[in-house]
Amino acid sequence: MSIVDIKTKAQFDELVQKTPYVALQAHAVWCGPCKAISPFFTKFATALALPEKYTFARFDTDEVPDLAFELGVRSIPAFFFFEKGDKTADLTAPKPPALQKVVEDLSTKAKAADARSLSGEWTRTIPATRRTKTCNIPGASNGRIEQRRVARS
């Protein structure tokens, strides 16, 4: 999957609203360190992106200054990571291993969320005052019963 090039702040806002996990690179065409780390970001995007679940994007700080201002970009390259619309992490001038760790961690979360969303099963856990059991019971709700999605085996 390719990297999405962000051209407007509105485009970015839409991407973050529609995609649960987003890795975003702030760069500029004249920035040497940006050019050095961009191939790594592209490599990670190719290997880890999940359609409609985990997207890699980038924007030029000179072309979209309002987004750079909103994110508080002070130096580039800078990377920002979003989960369900909220910024959860950022990296400024990272080395490839640091960038790899963050994008792989986010990929793991995205894959786990994707597996849960593909499952139509719910489990219920009986309180610890009795034996704890897990069973597939669709529907009923009870204040003492906890509902969790689980992946199908």
Q: In the prediction, which pLDDT does 113 show? A: 78
Kindly tell me if the per-residue pLDDT of 115 is higher than 60: yes
Whether the model clears a pTM of 0.85, i.e. scores above it, the answer is no
135 has catalytic annotation? no
- Alpha carbon 59 to its chain centroid, in Å, reads 16
Q: What whole-number percentage of the chain has pLDDT above 90?
A: 61
* 59-91 pLDDT per residue, tens: 999 999 999 999 999 999 999 999 999 999 999
* Residue tagged active-site, from 34, 49, 67, 113: 34
* Residue tagged active-site, from 3, 6, 16, 31: 31
Closest by CA to 30, choosing from 74, 77, 67, 83, is 77
The Cα diameter of the chain in Å comes to 65
Q: For each of the domains in the chain, give its residue range(s) and CATH number, in order of start.
A: 4-119 (3.40.30.10)
